[in-house]
Structure 1
Amino acid sequence: MFSTSLTATDLVYMLDGAWVTLQLTFWAILLGSFGGLLCGLLRALAPRASLPLAWVLDVFRSVPLLIQFVLLNSFKSIAGLDISAFSVGCIVLGVYAAAYFTEIVRSGVLAVSPSVRRASRSLGLSYWQDLRYIVLPMATRVAFPGWLNLVLGVMKDTALVMWIGIVELLRASQTIVTRIQEPLLVLCIAGLIYYVMSLVVARLGARLERRWQEND
């Protein structure tokens, strides 16, 4: 007969960790989407002028997230900044997401055919009207799948914030494993929670894409 030391309180503790994971994901994607949109437009519309920006973003894409967490958390302590570990996690994940979303936006904007832009200008639209009403709507549809994959990736990457003391889903699971010594059961439950959260995001994204297609 199956028996376990896992209690309802442990499950609630894991769900609390999952809520922290969702909060980290939300704020990181909000910051990353806003920053990535601005940087992506700059990279697409002024590639030469924004070349130094591309080099900086390459650093954040290349350096492992764990190192970025540790470095910013250490800098915070050395500089005496009154920033919570949660804020550090949001900032690092947000900048990391922005670095990737920049390229997603850039590729979306460049996917709009120059002939389409010339046609819109010939109809009397100004440069900014062309960008707002023609380029951005078309680029959004191209970039959306990449953005959705980025959201799912960031949700999993939040597990690394455990190294700076944040109790998210994985850290909560490890705490329970240490106490009851049932890693297989606890980690299977944690994996199921991650799966459910990712499935909800993926389904919402797929529904939005279908609506776009129906409106074409």
Structure 2
Amino acid sequence: MYQTVSTIQASSLTYYDLEFLLEGLMRTIYISIVSILIGTFFGIIFGYFKSNSGPISNIFLSGFLDILRSVPLIIQFILFYSFMGILEIDISVFWVGAIVLSAYTSAFVTEVVRAGIDSVPQTTRRASRSLGLSYWQDYRYIVFPLGVRTVFPAWISIVLSVIKDSALVSVIGYLELLKTTEELISKTQEALLLLLGVGFFYFIISYPISLYAAHLERKLKI
């Protein structure tokens, strides 16, 4: 009788299970977009300071960003979540995940932006200033258009990485795509089918981004 009950409990996937899975997919997309936008914003600011500030300021900023890049992301999630609990700060698991992912993203975007700014030859920048462009006009009309060609491919790689790394938010209980899949596997015992479905979902998110990025990159080179 026990085996019969177990077989019934390990039921096939239903419409409601698919709906639950799609909700997890939407949460994955949502936290990825929020983290990419915030991380890119701060990465641009940090990248600008790294390119233009003195060596002493760079030591502190580089040290902080190196920690974010070096410590495994899953450990950052657990430590930050535990730290919020110790301080008794009422914060949702979504924002715990978004803050950590944003900081992690900004650490990589910083180096990409710094490299983009530094890739613009100083002779070109001096020529723009000699033509009467102000400091910010130099950035707007010279540094930004030229730097984007260097930054864009690397930034897309970071975006794709963040989308995949968002699965690690499941360790703190956020019901994103991987977490919902784990719960459905426990319910239905359809591990292979569900994991293939999750892989397909990540593919249909990432592949169009890669194609569009390649298209834009070709246009930037024209």
Q: TM-score range by the shorter chain?
A: over 0.9
Note if 1:7 corresponds to 2:25: no
**Amino acid of the residue matched to residue 187 of structure 1?**
L
> What are the residue-to-residue correspondences of 1:93-132 with 2, within 5 Å?
93-132=101-140
User: d(CA) in 1 for partners of 2:199 and 2:53?
Assistant: 43
Deviations 1:77-98 (A, max 9, x none): 1111121000000000000000
Note if 1:22 corresponds to 2:29: yes
User: d(CA) in 1 for partners of 2:153 and 2:59?
Assistant: 26
Show the counterpart of 1:34: 41
Q: What TM-score results when the alignment is normalised by the length of structure 2?
A: 0.91
Q: What TM-score results when the alignment is normalised by the length of structure 1?
A: 0.94
- Which of residues 154, 166, 180 in structure 2 aligns to 1:158? 166
Note if 1:71 corresponds to 2:74: no
Q: Indicate the percent of aligned positions where both proteins have the same amino acid.
A: 45
User: d(CA) in 2 for partners of 1:170 and 1:50?
Assistant: 38
Matched length:
211
* Pair member with larger Rg: 2
Indicate how the Cα distance of structure 1 residues 47 and 14 shifts in structure 2: closer, same or farther if over 3 A, else same.
farther
**Amino acid of the residue matched to residue 114 of structure 2?**
R
Give SS of 2:120's match.
coil
Give SS of 2:174's match.
coil
Mean Cα displacement is larger for which, 32-41 or 203-212?
203-212
Show the counterpart of 2:50: 43
Mean Cα displacement is larger for which, 78-87 or 132-141?
132-141
Mean Cα displacement is larger for which, 84-93 or 4-13?
4-13
User: d(CA) in 2 for partners of 1:203 and 1:12?
Assistant: 28
Give SS of 2:137's match.
helix
Unaligned runs of 5+ residues in structure 1 are none
**Amino acid of the residue matched to residue 115 of structure 1?**
T
Q: What is the Cα deviation at residue 47 of structure 1?
A: 4.6
Unaligned runs of 5+ residues in structure 2 are 1-10
Deviations 1:96-120 (A, max 9, x none): 0000000000111111111111111
User: d(CA) in 1 for partners of 2:69 and 2:218?
Assistant: 31
